[in-house]
Structure formats: C-alpha cells, structure tokens
Structure 1
Amino acid sequence: MNKIRGMTLIEMIIAIVLMGIAMVAFTSFLVPQLRDSATSHYQTRAAALSQSFMSQILARGFDENSDLAGGETRCGEGVVGSEQETCTVSGSLGAEEGSIASFDDVDDYIGCWYTQSTQTSCNSTPQYELSNVLGTSIESDYTNFRVEVDVVYVNESGSVSNDIEDYKRVTLTIHAGRTQSLKLSAIKGNY
C-alpha cells in the first residue's frame, strides 16, 4: 500500500518565505521601470511643444522697430526720425503689446509661459498662460509643462552683447514635470 503524504508545516513556511522574497525582488525591479516609463513620453511632448513654440516665435519680426508691413527697411537702417532709425536697446527687450495675439517681434515672447500647476515655479517675468498661436489656452494638453523664454542680442561669434547687433538668440527652456529640462536656441537675423 502506498502512503500518501502532503506538505509539512515547515515546507509550507519555507515556500511562503521564498515566494515573499521573489515578490519583493520582482516589485523592486518593476516599480522603477514603471516610474521611468513616462519619461520618454514627457520628453517627446516637450520636444513637440518646443518646436511649435520656436516656430511661432521665429515667424515674428526681428524687432519692434523693423518694418513689419513688408520688411523693406530693417531697424537700424531707417531715415533719421523714422521708426526704423534704431533697433530696441538691449535693456528694453520684451513685450510692448498688451495682448499675446498682438505679439509681432521675437523679444515680445520673453518671460515664463506656465500652466496652472507650474505658475509658482516660474523663474522669469512677465508670466503668461501657456497658449497656442491664436492665444487659446493649451493647459489641458500640457499639464505640468512650463516654458521659459529668453531673447538677447548676440554678435557674429554668438557671444551675448549689450549693444544692438544684427542677431538675437532666442532660448527656450522647457520644463516637463520631473524630467530633465530641454533647452533649445535659435538665432534670428535682422534681414
């Protein structure tokens, strides 16, 4: 006659302990992977936002004093007494218009573009709600995103200059949640 034998209490305890160790090892490996899985998604969206924002800015004129209605006369080359006689001095770069829809030159975009959850993190002024080219809020599409825009004059070698130059460097810094910031720069020429 065959004797049927089950698991003893000690064998059951050993099995439970081994299963517990295996589960802890599995979850300690899996949890960091889940947390980091959103990083590439945020980086892709940050790149798309930065490309859109940079295109919007570079589509504008070089300077407030440029001929924005056809571009026949560049700022700094106008007739004495005309609006195009000089370009905006370095210390006066920034928005001249009150509404975003009226922005017409690259330095109008200087400042922090925020969503409701990121407004307190802004490092620059003025502050604007993150919006599309039409001025419509895009907060629901870019929650936890913030864009810092800086525009400075640069000389031909790319060095920052306090003098009026023929080039402006537009720098965007995109902050997307807890991911690493994305920084983009472009040069706009006075042509």
Structure 2
Amino acid sequence: MFIFKRFQSGVTLIETVVFLVVVSIALVALIRVYTQAVVSSVDPVVQIRALEKAQAQMDEILARKFDENTPTGGVPACDSSTGVACAGISPDADYDDVGDYNGFVDASETNYTVSVSVVNAGSELGLVNTRARRITVTALMPGGNSVVLSAYKVNF
C-alpha cells in the first residue's frame, strides 16, 4: 500500500510581502497618471475661456471707427485729399474709435485679464504708417499663460 504524504501548500510570508510591494508600486503609478489626466483636462477649458474673452474684446474694437475724426461710414477717410486730418491714437473715455482702446485693461473677471495695445502699423502692410493700426489683444490666463490676438484696422 502506498502512503501519500501531503505537503502543506500556501503562500509564504516572503511571497506575500513581495506581492504587496508590487501591487502598491503599480497603484501609486496608476494614481499619478490619473491625477495628471484630471489636471490636464481642465487646461483646454481655461484656454477656450481666455480665447473667448480676447475675441470678444477684439470684435468690439474692430466694430469702432478708425479714428476720432473718421466720419460715420468711413468716407471720406481722414487724412485723404477730401477728408479732415486724423487725430491719431489718443485714448479718451468714449471708446468710439480704435485709438481709444490703446492701454485698455479689463480685469473685471477673476483670473482673466485682457489688455489692449494699438499702434500705427501701415508700414507693415506697405502703406503710409498712419493709414493702418495694429490692434493686439492679450488675455492672461490663470497660471501665467496668455492668448494673443492681433488684427489690422485700415483707414480706407
């Protein structure tokens, strides 16, 4: 007759400790990846909000006259042979022309600041320098990044 000895089966203490260490390292790596994904998923929302604010400001400025002395409708253009002299970039409180927005800053919404710069830039387009203005709108986002939009308004 054969006698079968049964050996004790199971997991040793060393195997258990090694398993716990491997699982905890994998869990820490997984949590770090998940945390980074959550933080990065908010970035596009912040960028789109800043872009929307900058675009809204740009649209508002481009809807204004070229110069304080530009007649309604823009014809005849100031500084033309039949028009009056242009006043230049001279900010005033009524915001009725492009030059009024030079130096404008809007910090009405927390975490987003929109600033505007207007300069004569006709030479960049092959015109007399005072015949075009470059409008630059900068929207600062939380974290220090910014969105910059530029457009030209031409005196025609």
Q: Deviations over 1:10-59 (max 9, x none)?
A: 22221211111101221232322222211211222222222211111100
Partner-residue secondary structure (3-state), 2:124: coil
- 2:101 equivalent in structure 1: 109
RMSD: 2.8
Q: Is the 8 A contact 1:112 1:146 kept in 2?
A: no
Deviation readout 1:65-110 (Å, 9 max, x if unpaired): 2124x4443222487xxxx632124xxx24212xxxx310112122
Q: How many residues align?
A: 152
| 1:186 and 2:151 correspond | yes
User: Counterpart of 1:19?
Assistant: 23
Letter in 1 for 2:91: A
- The structure that is helix-richer by fraction is 2
How high is the sequence identity, in percent, across the aligned residues? 33
1:164 deviates by 5.7
Give 1:170's aligned residue.
135
Residue in structure 2 matched with residue 8 of structure 1 by the alignment: 12
Q: Which residue of 2 aligns with 1:73?
A: 76
Paired letter, 2:122? N
| Residue 183 (structure 1) shift | 1.4
* Structural mapping, 1:142-161, within 5 Å: 143-158=110-125
> Which of 85, 92, 96 lines up with 2:92 in the alignment?
96
Q: Which amino acid aligns with 2:149?
A: L
Shift of 1:112: 4.7
| In structure 2, C-alpha distance between the alignment counterparts of 1:114 and 1:71, rounded to whole Å | 28
Q: Which residue of 1 aligns with 2:49?
A: 45
Q: Tell me by how many angstroms 1:170 deviates.
A: 0.5
- Whole-angstrom CA distance in 2 between matches of 1:184 and 1:149: 10
TM-score by length of 1: 0.66
Indicate the structure (1 or 2) with the bigger Cα radius of gyration: 2
TM normalised by structure 2 equals 0.79
**Structure 2: gaps of 5 or more residues:** none
Gaps of 5+ in 1: 116-128, 130-138
